[in-house]
Amino acid sequence: MKEQKLTTANYKGTRDFFPEDMRLRNYLFSVMKQVAVSYGYEEYDGPMIESLDLYRAKTGEEIVGKQIYNFIDKGGREVAIRPEMTPTVARMVASKLRDLPRPIRWFSIPNLWRYEQPGHGRLREHWQLNVDMFGVNHFRAELEIFSLACDILFAFGASRNSFRVKVSHRSLLDEFFKSGLKLKPEQGQEVSKILDKKNKITGDEYVALVSKTIPEDATAVSKIDQFLAATVENIQTIPGLTGETIQKINDLFSGLKDLGLSDIVDFDPSVVRGFDYYTGFIFEIFDTSPKNKRSLYGGGRYDNLIGLFSNEELSGIGFGLGDVTLQNFLETHGLLPNLSNANTVYIPLLDDTSFFAAQTLAKQFRAASVAVDLSLQSQKMGKQLSYAEKKGYRWILILGEEETKNQTVTLKDMVHRSQEELKWDDALQKVRTELS
Ligand code: HAM
Protein backbone atom coordinates (compact mmCIF):
# COMPACT_ATOMS: atom_id res chain seq x y z
CA MET A 1 0.00 0.00 0.00
CA LYS A 2 1.20 3.50 -0.83
CA GLU A 3 2.28 5.53 2.15
CA GLN A 4 -0.09 8.40 2.96
CA LYS A 5 1.86 11.67 2.75
CA LEU A 6 1.41 14.48 5.24
CA THR A 7 -0.18 17.65 3.96
CA THR A 8 2.01 20.70 3.32
CA ALA A 9 -0.98 22.97 3.98
CA ASN A 10 -0.71 25.19 7.02
CA TYR A 11 -3.33 25.32 9.77
CA LYS A 12 -6.47 27.27 8.76
CA GLY A 13 -6.24 30.99 9.43
CA THR A 14 -2.44 31.02 9.78
CA ARG A 15 0.33 32.03 7.39
CA ASP A 16 3.64 30.50 6.44
CA PHE A 17 6.21 33.23 6.17
CA PHE A 18 8.51 32.33 3.28
CA PRO A 19 11.66 34.48 2.99
CA GLU A 20 9.94 37.07 0.77
CA ASP A 21 7.01 37.27 3.24
CA MET A 22 9.46 37.56 6.09
CA ARG A 23 11.16 40.47 4.33
CA LEU A 24 7.84 42.28 4.30
CA ARG A 25 7.07 41.38 7.91
CA ASN A 26 10.47 42.62 9.05
CA TYR A 27 9.92 45.84 7.14
CA LEU A 28 6.48 46.39 8.74
CA PHE A 29 7.85 45.67 12.21
CA SER A 30 10.92 47.87 11.74
CA VAL A 31 8.84 50.91 10.74
CA MET A 32 6.45 50.35 13.67
CA LYS A 33 9.37 49.97 16.07
CA GLN A 34 11.17 53.06 14.78
CA VAL A 35 8.13 55.24 15.40
CA ALA A 36 7.39 53.77 18.85
CA VAL A 37 11.05 54.18 19.87
CA SER A 38 11.06 57.75 18.55
CA TYR A 39 8.34 58.56 21.13
CA GLY A 40 10.42 57.05 23.96
CA TYR A 41 8.54 53.72 24.15
CA GLU A 42 10.53 50.64 25.20
CA GLU A 43 10.02 47.14 23.88
CA TYR A 44 8.81 44.28 26.12
CA ASP A 45 7.48 40.78 25.53
CA GLY A 46 5.60 38.18 27.56
CA PRO A 47 4.71 34.50 27.32
CA MET A 48 2.43 33.15 24.62
CA ILE A 49 0.51 31.08 27.18
CA GLU A 50 -1.19 32.62 30.18
CA SER A 51 -3.68 31.42 32.76
CA LEU A 52 -7.23 31.47 31.35
CA ASP A 53 -8.32 33.51 34.39
CA LEU A 54 -6.30 36.44 33.10
CA TYR A 55 -8.72 36.77 30.17
CA ARG A 56 -11.86 35.75 32.06
CA ALA A 57 -11.45 38.84 34.20
CA LYS A 58 -12.05 41.59 31.62
CA THR A 59 -11.32 40.56 28.04
CA GLY A 60 -15.00 40.18 27.21
CA GLU A 61 -17.45 37.50 26.21
CA GLU A 62 -16.84 37.52 22.44
CA ILE A 63 -13.21 36.45 22.84
CA VAL A 64 -13.37 34.39 26.02
CA GLY A 65 -16.65 32.67 25.13
CA LYS A 66 -16.00 31.95 21.47
CA GLN A 67 -12.55 32.69 20.19
CA ILE A 68 -9.99 31.76 22.79
CA TYR A 69 -7.62 28.82 22.30
CA ASN A 70 -7.66 27.28 25.75
CA PHE A 71 -6.68 23.89 27.14
CA ILE A 72 -5.76 22.08 30.32
CA ASP A 73 -1.99 21.65 30.61
CA LYS A 74 -0.31 18.46 31.85
CA GLY A 75 -0.42 19.80 35.39
CA GLY A 76 -4.20 20.30 35.23
CA ARG A 77 -4.05 24.12 34.88
CA GLU A 78 -6.53 25.98 32.69
CA VAL A 79 -4.41 27.97 30.25
CA ALA A 80 -4.93 29.96 27.05
CA ILE A 81 -2.84 31.05 24.10
CA ARG A 82 -2.87 34.84 24.24
CA PRO A 83 -5.74 36.33 22.20
CA GLU A 84 -4.58 39.86 23.05
CA MET A 85 -1.65 41.49 24.85
CA THR A 86 -3.35 44.00 27.17
CA PRO A 87 -3.91 41.61 30.14
CA THR A 88 -0.26 40.48 29.88
CA VAL A 89 1.13 44.01 29.85
CA ALA A 90 -1.12 44.95 32.79
CA ARG A 91 0.11 41.88 34.71
CA MET A 92 3.74 42.71 33.97
CA VAL A 93 3.37 46.38 34.92
CA ALA A 94 1.53 45.41 38.14
CA SER A 95 4.32 42.98 39.06
CA LYS A 96 6.88 45.84 39.15
CA LEU A 97 4.57 48.71 39.96
CA ARG A 98 6.82 50.25 42.58
CA ASP A 99 10.04 50.03 40.59
CA LEU A 100 8.99 51.42 37.24
CA PRO A 101 9.56 55.12 36.56
CA ARG A 102 6.31 56.74 35.43
CA PRO A 103 4.90 57.32 32.93
CA ILE A 104 5.53 53.81 31.71
CA ARG A 105 5.73 53.76 27.91
CA TRP A 106 6.00 50.26 26.44
CA PHE A 107 5.44 48.53 23.12
CA SER A 108 5.49 44.97 21.83
CA ILE A 109 4.66 43.08 18.63
CA PRO A 110 3.22 39.74 19.83
CA ASN A 111 1.51 37.07 17.75
CA LEU A 112 -2.03 36.54 18.98
CA TRP A 113 -4.50 33.71 18.48
CA ARG A 114 -8.27 33.91 18.07
CA TYR A 115 -10.54 31.19 16.72
CA GLU A 116 -12.18 33.38 14.08
CA GLN A 117 -13.75 32.65 10.74
CA PRO A 118 -10.81 33.61 8.49
CA GLY A 119 -11.55 36.24 5.84
CA HIS A 120 -10.31 39.54 4.46
CA GLY A 121 -8.52 41.25 7.36
CA ARG A 122 -9.22 38.39 9.79
CA LEU A 123 -7.04 35.40 10.57
CA ARG A 124 -6.60 33.04 13.49
CA GLU A 125 -3.01 34.07 14.10
CA HIS A 126 -1.97 37.67 13.59
CA TRP A 127 0.76 39.95 14.86
CA GLN A 128 -0.27 43.11 16.63
CA LEU A 129 1.76 46.15 17.58
CA ASN A 130 0.70 47.09 21.11
CA VAL A 131 1.61 50.55 22.34
CA ASP A 132 0.55 51.39 25.90
CA MET A 133 1.19 54.14 28.39
CA PHE A 134 0.52 53.86 32.13
CA GLY A 135 0.36 56.56 34.77
CA VAL A 136 -1.02 59.61 32.92
CA ASN A 137 -4.75 60.07 33.41
CA HIS A 138 -4.98 63.20 31.32
CA PHE A 139 -6.04 63.77 27.72
CA ARG A 140 -2.44 64.69 26.85
CA ALA A 141 -1.77 60.94 26.93
CA GLU A 142 -4.60 60.43 24.42
CA LEU A 143 -3.07 63.14 22.23
CA GLU A 144 0.32 61.40 22.30
CA ILE A 145 -1.18 57.98 21.54
CA PHE A 146 -3.24 59.34 18.60
CA SER A 147 -0.26 61.25 17.28
CA LEU A 148 1.96 58.16 17.50
CA ALA A 149 -0.69 56.02 15.79
CA CYS A 150 -0.99 58.50 12.91
CA ASP A 151 2.79 58.85 12.62
CA ILE A 152 3.11 55.11 12.05
CA LEU A 153 0.86 55.33 9.00
CA PHE A 154 2.67 58.46 7.81
CA ALA A 155 5.99 56.64 8.19
CA PHE A 156 4.67 54.04 5.74
CA GLY A 157 3.90 56.87 3.32
CA ALA A 158 0.14 57.15 3.99
CA SER A 159 -1.61 60.38 3.03
CA ARG A 160 -3.78 62.30 5.48
CA ASN A 161 -6.97 61.37 3.67
CA SER A 162 -6.30 57.61 3.49
CA PHE A 163 -7.45 56.85 7.05
CA ARG A 164 -9.72 58.18 9.84
CA VAL A 165 -9.42 57.96 13.60
CA LYS A 166 -12.89 57.41 15.15
CA VAL A 167 -13.20 58.29 18.82
CA SER A 168 -15.83 57.90 21.48
CA HIS A 169 -15.90 57.60 25.26
CA ARG A 170 -17.15 54.66 27.33
CA SER A 171 -19.11 56.94 29.67
CA LEU A 172 -21.00 58.33 26.70
CA LEU A 173 -22.61 54.97 26.02
CA ASP A 174 -23.03 54.12 29.71
CA GLU A 175 -24.70 57.43 30.56
CA PHE A 176 -26.90 57.48 27.48
CA PHE A 177 -28.06 53.91 28.10
CA LYS A 178 -28.61 54.36 31.83
CA SER A 179 -30.03 57.89 32.10
CA GLY A 180 -31.02 58.68 28.51
CA LEU A 181 -32.68 55.40 27.52
CA LYS A 182 -33.25 54.14 31.10
CA LEU A 183 -31.97 50.67 30.23
CA LYS A 184 -31.13 47.91 32.69
CA PRO A 185 -27.40 46.96 32.64
CA GLU A 186 -28.09 43.72 30.70
CA GLN A 187 -30.06 45.67 28.08
CA GLY A 188 -27.20 48.16 27.78
CA GLN A 189 -24.74 45.34 27.17
CA GLU A 190 -27.04 43.85 24.55
CA VAL A 191 -27.44 47.18 22.74
CA SER A 192 -23.63 47.67 22.80
CA LYS A 193 -23.26 44.36 21.02
CA ILE A 194 -25.88 45.33 18.45
CA LEU A 195 -24.10 48.63 17.78
CA ASP A 196 -20.76 46.82 17.51
CA LYS A 197 -22.11 44.72 14.65
CA LYS A 198 -24.41 47.36 13.11
CA ASN A 199 -22.30 47.68 9.95
CA LYS A 200 -22.38 43.94 9.38
CA ILE A 201 -26.18 43.48 9.49
CA THR A 202 -29.06 44.94 7.44
CA GLY A 203 -31.06 47.96 8.58
CA ASP A 204 -34.13 45.78 9.17
CA GLU A 205 -32.17 43.29 11.25
CA TYR A 206 -30.77 46.16 13.30
CA VAL A 207 -34.22 47.63 14.01
CA ALA A 208 -35.60 44.19 14.88
CA LEU A 209 -32.76 43.51 17.34
CA VAL A 210 -33.07 46.89 19.08
CA SER A 211 -36.86 46.58 19.34
CA LYS A 212 -36.52 43.09 20.78
CA THR A 213 -33.99 44.28 23.37
CA ILE A 214 -35.96 47.41 24.36
CA PRO A 215 -39.61 46.37 23.86
CA GLU A 216 -40.83 48.94 26.38
CA ASP A 217 -39.70 51.98 24.34
CA ALA A 218 -41.10 52.36 20.82
CA THR A 219 -38.91 55.41 20.20
CA ALA A 220 -35.65 53.64 21.15
CA VAL A 221 -34.44 53.22 17.56
CA SER A 222 -34.88 56.89 16.73
CA LYS A 223 -33.25 57.95 20.02
CA ILE A 224 -30.26 55.71 19.28
CA ASP A 225 -30.06 57.07 15.71
CA GLN A 226 -29.99 60.60 17.10
CA PHE A 227 -27.26 59.56 19.55
CA LEU A 228 -25.18 58.03 16.77
CA ALA A 229 -25.46 61.20 14.68
CA ALA A 230 -24.25 63.49 17.50
CA THR A 231 -21.26 65.75 16.86
CA VAL A 232 -18.84 67.45 19.27
CA GLU A 233 -20.76 70.69 18.66
CA ASN A 234 -24.19 69.32 19.61
CA ILE A 235 -23.16 66.64 22.08
CA GLN A 236 -25.07 68.34 24.91
CA THR A 237 -28.31 67.40 23.15
CA ILE A 238 -27.73 63.70 23.88
CA PRO A 239 -30.06 62.81 26.77
CA GLY A 240 -28.45 61.53 29.96
CA LEU A 241 -24.88 62.78 29.50
CA THR A 242 -23.09 64.30 32.47
CA GLY A 243 -21.28 67.62 32.22
CA GLU A 244 -18.04 65.81 33.09
CA THR A 245 -18.18 63.54 30.06
CA ILE A 246 -19.08 66.42 27.75
CA GLN A 247 -16.14 68.41 29.14
CA LYS A 248 -13.72 65.52 28.55
CA ILE A 249 -14.80 65.23 24.93
CA ASN A 250 -14.54 68.97 24.37
CA ASP A 251 -11.06 69.08 25.95
CA LEU A 252 -9.80 66.24 23.79
CA PHE A 253 -11.12 67.70 20.57
CA SER A 254 -9.77 71.14 21.29
CA GLY A 255 -6.38 69.50 22.04
CA LEU A 256 -6.55 67.63 18.74
CA LYS A 257 -7.17 70.92 16.98
CA ASP A 258 -4.12 72.53 18.61
CA LEU A 259 -2.06 69.48 17.70
CA GLY A 260 -3.10 69.73 14.04
CA LEU A 261 -4.88 66.38 13.99
CA SER A 262 -8.52 67.44 13.92
CA ASP A 263 -8.76 66.88 10.16
CA ILE A 264 -8.07 63.16 10.71
CA VAL A 265 -9.95 62.46 13.94
CA ASP A 266 -13.76 62.16 14.07
CA PHE A 267 -16.00 62.06 17.09
CA ASP A 268 -18.05 58.93 16.48
CA PRO A 269 -20.44 57.67 19.19
CA SER A 270 -20.90 54.39 17.28
CA VAL A 271 -17.43 53.20 18.36
CA VAL A 272 -18.14 50.54 20.98
CA ARG A 273 -15.06 48.27 21.44
CA GLY A 274 -15.88 44.77 22.66
CA PHE A 275 -13.55 44.66 25.69
CA ASP A 276 -14.86 45.01 29.24
CA TYR A 277 -11.79 46.83 30.56
CA TYR A 278 -12.13 50.16 28.76
CA THR A 279 -13.32 52.98 31.00
CA GLY A 280 -12.47 56.18 29.09
CA PHE A 281 -11.83 57.21 25.51
CA ILE A 282 -12.14 54.38 22.99
CA PHE A 283 -11.05 54.57 19.37
CA GLU A 284 -10.53 52.72 16.13
CA ILE A 285 -8.68 53.69 12.97
CA PHE A 286 -10.18 52.81 9.61
CA ASP A 287 -8.98 52.82 6.04
CA THR A 288 -11.04 55.30 4.00
CA SER A 289 -11.02 52.84 1.10
CA PRO A 290 -14.22 50.76 1.10
CA LYS A 291 -12.08 47.72 0.18
CA ASN A 292 -10.95 47.38 3.80
CA LYS A 293 -13.82 47.44 6.23
CA ARG A 294 -11.99 46.01 9.24
CA SER A 295 -10.34 48.44 11.63
CA LEU A 296 -6.57 48.86 11.42
CA TYR A 297 -6.21 49.89 15.05
CA GLY A 298 -8.35 49.49 18.14
CA GLY A 299 -7.65 50.94 21.54
CA GLY A 300 -8.70 52.96 24.51
CA ARG A 301 -8.16 53.95 28.12
CA TYR A 302 -8.51 51.42 30.91
CA ASP A 303 -8.46 52.48 34.55
CA ASN A 304 -9.11 49.22 36.36
CA LEU A 305 -6.80 46.58 34.92
CA ILE A 306 -3.78 47.13 37.16
CA GLY A 307 -6.14 46.94 40.14
CA LEU A 308 -6.87 43.29 39.27
CA PHE A 309 -3.35 42.49 40.48
CA SER A 310 -2.54 45.21 42.97
CA ASN A 311 -4.09 47.44 45.63
CA GLU A 312 -2.90 50.43 43.67
CA GLU A 313 -4.72 51.50 40.51
CA LEU A 314 -2.83 52.94 37.57
CA SER A 315 -4.60 54.21 34.49
CA GLY A 316 -3.45 52.84 31.15
CA ILE A 317 -4.12 53.79 27.56
CA GLY A 318 -3.02 52.12 24.37
CA PHE A 319 -3.85 50.45 21.09
CA GLY A 320 -3.32 47.37 19.00
CA LEU A 321 -2.42 47.65 15.29
CA GLY A 322 -2.81 44.39 13.37
CA ASP A 323 -0.36 43.31 10.67
CA VAL A 324 -3.06 41.80 8.43
CA THR A 325 -5.18 44.94 8.20
CA LEU A 326 -2.06 47.10 7.93
CA GLN A 327 -0.80 45.06 4.98
CA ASN A 328 -4.21 45.31 3.28
CA PHE A 329 -4.13 49.07 3.82
CA LEU A 330 -0.62 49.44 2.35
CA GLU A 331 -1.52 47.25 -0.63
CA THR A 332 -4.71 49.22 -1.31
CA HIS A 333 -2.85 52.53 -1.29
CA GLY A 334 0.14 51.29 -3.30
CA LEU A 335 2.48 51.72 -0.33
CA LEU A 336 4.15 48.32 -0.25
CA PRO A 337 7.82 48.79 -1.13
CA ASN A 338 9.68 46.50 -3.48
CA LEU A 339 11.76 44.61 -0.96
CA SER A 340 14.50 42.63 -2.61
CA ASN A 341 17.78 40.92 -1.88
CA ALA A 342 19.57 43.56 -3.92
CA ASN A 343 21.91 44.41 -1.07
CA THR A 344 23.41 40.93 -0.90
CA VAL A 345 26.58 40.40 -2.95
CA TYR A 346 27.07 37.09 -4.74
CA ILE A 347 30.39 35.37 -5.34
CA PRO A 348 30.09 32.54 -7.86
CA LEU A 349 32.73 29.83 -7.89
CA LEU A 350 34.26 29.21 -11.29
CA ASP A 351 36.99 26.79 -10.27
CA ASP A 352 37.70 25.01 -7.02
CA THR A 353 41.14 26.59 -6.63
CA SER A 354 39.54 30.02 -6.01
CA PHE A 355 37.41 28.79 -3.11
CA PHE A 356 39.62 29.99 -0.26
CA ALA A 357 40.44 33.31 -1.94
CA ALA A 358 36.68 33.79 -2.36
CA GLN A 359 36.27 33.10 1.37
CA THR A 360 38.84 35.80 2.17
CA LEU A 361 37.09 38.26 -0.13
CA ALA A 362 33.70 37.43 1.43
CA LYS A 363 35.16 37.94 4.90
CA GLN A 364 36.34 41.42 3.96
CA PHE A 365 32.88 42.38 2.68
CA ARG A 366 31.06 40.86 5.66
CA ALA A 367 33.37 42.69 8.06
CA ALA A 368 32.16 45.90 6.41
CA SER A 369 28.52 44.81 7.00
CA VAL A 370 27.87 43.78 3.40
CA ALA A 371 26.03 40.46 3.14
CA VAL A 372 27.69 37.88 0.91
CA ASP A 373 26.26 34.71 -0.59
CA LEU A 374 29.23 32.59 -1.58
CA SER A 375 28.87 29.63 -3.90
CA LEU A 376 30.12 26.36 -2.43
CA GLN A 377 30.34 24.47 -5.68
CA SER A 378 32.10 25.38 -8.92
CA GLN A 379 29.64 25.49 -11.78
CA LYS A 380 29.22 27.04 -15.20
CA MET A 381 28.94 30.83 -15.08
CA GLY A 382 25.52 30.86 -16.82
CA LYS A 383 24.01 28.62 -14.15
CA GLN A 384 25.38 30.73 -11.33
CA LEU A 385 24.23 33.98 -12.91
CA SER A 386 20.75 32.59 -13.35
CA TYR A 387 20.74 31.65 -9.62
CA ALA A 388 21.86 35.23 -8.76
CA GLU A 389 19.11 36.65 -10.95
CA LYS A 390 16.43 34.49 -9.33
CA LYS A 391 17.60 35.58 -5.90
CA GLY A 392 17.42 39.23 -6.98
CA TYR A 393 21.07 40.03 -6.32
CA ARG A 394 22.47 43.17 -7.86
CA TRP A 395 26.23 42.74 -7.41
CA ILE A 396 28.35 39.78 -8.50
CA LEU A 397 32.02 39.47 -7.60
CA ILE A 398 33.83 37.30 -10.11
CA LEU A 399 37.10 35.91 -8.90
CA GLY A 400 39.18 33.82 -11.31
CA GLU A 401 42.76 32.65 -10.99
CA GLU A 402 44.12 35.78 -12.66
CA GLU A 403 42.13 38.15 -10.41
CA THR A 404 43.19 36.28 -7.28
CA LYS A 405 46.83 36.69 -8.27
CA ASN A 406 46.36 40.46 -8.80
CA GLN A 407 44.10 40.97 -5.75
CA THR A 408 41.45 42.26 -8.12
CA VAL A 409 37.90 41.22 -8.81
CA THR A 410 35.38 41.73 -11.60
CA LEU A 411 32.39 43.59 -10.18
CA LYS A 412 29.29 42.93 -12.21
CA ASP A 413 26.21 45.12 -11.79
CA MET A 414 23.13 43.07 -12.76
CA VAL A 415 20.89 46.14 -12.77
CA HIS A 416 22.92 48.31 -15.12
CA ARG A 417 24.32 45.31 -16.99
CA SER A 418 27.89 46.63 -16.62
CA GLN A 419 31.12 45.29 -15.20
CA GLU A 420 34.60 46.50 -14.30
CA GLU A 421 37.80 45.10 -12.81
CA LEU A 422 38.65 46.67 -9.48
CA LYS A 423 40.94 46.21 -6.51
CA TRP A 424 39.09 44.43 -3.67
CA ASP A 425 38.97 47.56 -1.54
CA ASP A 426 37.62 49.64 -4.40
CA ALA A 427 34.95 47.06 -5.20
CA LEU A 428 33.87 47.10 -1.56
CA GLN A 429 33.82 50.88 -1.54
CA LYS A 430 31.71 51.01 -4.68
CA VAL A 431 29.17 48.47 -3.40
CA ARG A 432 28.91 50.19 -0.03
CA THR A 433 28.20 53.60 -1.51
CA GLU A 434 25.42 52.17 -3.65
CA LEU A 435 23.66 50.00 -1.06
CA SER A 436 19.98 50.86 -0.86
P1 HAM B 1 -8.59 44.61 19.01
O2 HAM B 1 -9.53 45.63 18.48
O3 HAM B 1 -9.13 43.27 19.31
O4 HAM B 1 -7.90 45.27 20.28
O5 HAM B 1 -7.40 44.42 18.00
C6 HAM B 1 -6.66 45.51 17.53
C7 HAM B 1 -6.38 45.33 16.05
O8 HAM B 1 -5.77 44.06 15.83
C9 HAM B 1 -7.60 45.33 15.16
O10 HAM B 1 -7.99 46.63 14.80
C11 HAM B 1 -7.10 44.54 13.96
O12 HAM B 1 -6.26 45.35 13.13
C13 HAM B 1 -6.19 43.52 14.60
N14 HAM B 1 -6.86 42.22 14.78
C15 HAM B 1 -7.60 41.83 15.82
N16 HAM B 1 -8.04 40.57 15.64
C17 HAM B 1 -7.56 40.16 14.45
C18 HAM B 1 -7.64 38.95 13.69
N19 HAM B 1 -8.32 37.90 14.11
N20 HAM B 1 -7.01 38.90 12.49
C21 HAM B 1 -6.30 39.95 12.04
N22 HAM B 1 -6.18 41.10 12.71
C23 HAM B 1 -6.80 41.22 13.90
C24 HAM B 1 -7.11 44.60 21.18
O25 HAM B 1 -6.67 43.50 21.01
C26 HAM B 1 -6.73 45.43 22.38
N27 HAM B 1 -6.08 44.54 23.35
C28 HAM B 1 -5.83 46.58 21.94
C29 HAM B 1 -5.35 47.46 23.05
C30 HAM B 1 -4.07 47.65 23.44
N31 HAM B 1 -6.11 48.21 23.84
C32 HAM B 1 -5.35 48.86 24.68
N33 HAM B 1 -4.09 48.51 24.46
| Centre of ligand 1 from the C-alpha of residue 32, in Å | 15
- List the one residue out of 282, 370, 295 whose CA is nearest residue 326: 295
User: Roughly what angle, to the nearest 10 degrees, separates helices 243-259 and 139-155?
Assistant: 40
Cβ contact 389:373 at 8 Å: no
Both 274 and 177 in one domain: the answer is yes
The pLDDT score that the predictor gives to residue 94 is 97
Question: Is position 236 within any domain?
Answer: yes
Domain limit, last residue, from 278, 305, 332? 332
Q: Is 86 annotated as a binding residue?
A: yes
| Centre of ligand 1 from the C-alpha of residue 330, in Å | 17
Both 420 and 302 in one domain: the answer is no
Question: Which residues, including other chains, have CB under 8 Å from residue 115's CB and lie 6 or more apart?
Answer: 66, 67, 68, 69, 124
Q: Is 170 annotated as a binding residue?
A: no
Domain limit, last residue, from 332, 354, 386? 332
Strands 78-81 and 69-72, by their bridges, are antiparallel
Both 25 and 115 in one domain: the answer is yes
Cβ contact 293:285 at 8 Å: no
Q: Which residues line ligand 1 (CB under 6 A)?
A: 84, 86, 114, 116, 122-123, 126, 128, 130, 132, 295-300, 318-320, 322, 324-325
Cβ contact 263:306 at 8 Å: no
Both 263 and 377 in one domain: the answer is no
- List the one residue out of 284, 279, 321 whose CA is nearest residue 301: 279
Domain limit, last residue, from 332, 366, 395? 332
- Ligand 1: atom nearest CA of 123 is 20
Both 141 and 244 in one domain: the answer is yes
Question: Is position 196 within any domain?
Answer: no
Q: Is 175 annotated as a binding residue?
A: no
Question: Is position 340 within any domain?
Answer: no
Both 321 and 408 in one domain: the answer is no
Both 385 and 427 in one domain: the answer is yes
Q: How many domains does the chain have?
A: 2
Question: Is position 175 within any domain?
Answer: yes
Cβ count near 242 (within 10 Å): 13
Question: Is position 14 within any domain?
Answer: no
The pLDDT score that the predictor gives to residue 200 is 81
Tens of pLDDT along the chain (436 residues)? Answer: 788 999 999 999 999 999 999 999 999 999 999 999 999 999 999 999 999 999 999 988 889 999 999 999 999 999 999 999 999 999 999 999 999 999 999 999 999 999 999 999 999 999 999 999 999 999 999 999 999 999 999 999 999 999 999 999 999 999 999 999 999 999 998 998 899 888 888 999 999 999 999 999 999 999 999 999 999 999 998 889 999 999 999 999 999 999 999 999 999 999 999 898 999 999 999 999 999 999 999 999 999 999 999 999 999 999 999 999 999 999 999 999 989 898 999 999 998 999 999 999 999 999 999 999 999 999 999 999 999 999 999 999 999 888 888 999 999 999 999 999 999 999 999 999 998 7
Question: Is position 220 within any domain?
Answer: no
Cβ contact 238:169 at 8 Å: no
Both 400 and 430 in one domain: the answer is yes
Instruction: List the CATH number of the domain containing 357.
Output: 3.40.50.800
Rounded to whole angstroms, the Cα distance separating 191 from 186 reads: 9
What single DSSP character describes residue 271? -
Among 15, 54, 111, 126, say which to mutate for ligand 1: greatest number of ligand atoms within 8 Å of CB: 126
Cβ count near 97 (within 10 Å): 17
Both 305 and 381 in one domain: the answer is no
The pLDDT score that the predictor gives to residue 184 is 93
Query: 336 by DSSP, 3-state: which?
Result: coil
Among 61, 84, 272, say which to mutate for ligand 1: greatest number of ligand atoms within 8 Å of CB: 84
The pLDDT score that the predictor gives to residue 193 is 87
The pLDDT score that the predictor gives to residue 382 is 95
Both 302 and 375 in one domain: the answer is no
Instruction: List the CATH number of the domain containing 258.
Output: 3.30.930.10
Residue with CA closest to ligand 1 atom 13:
322
Both 123 and 247 in one domain: the answer is yes
Both 362 and 398 in one domain: the answer is yes
394 by Cβ neighbours in 10 Å (0-12 / 13-18 / 19+) ranks as buried
| Centre of ligand 1 from the C-alpha of residue 322, in Å | 6
Domain containing 181 equals 19-185+230-332
The pLDDT score that the predictor gives to residue 28 is 98
Rounded to whole angstroms, the Cα distance separating 189 from 24 reads: 40
Question: Is position 172 within any domain?
Answer: yes
* pTM over 0.75, yes/no: yes
Question: Is position 217 within any domain?
Answer: no
- List the one residue out of 45, 13, 59 whose CA is nearest residue 129: 45
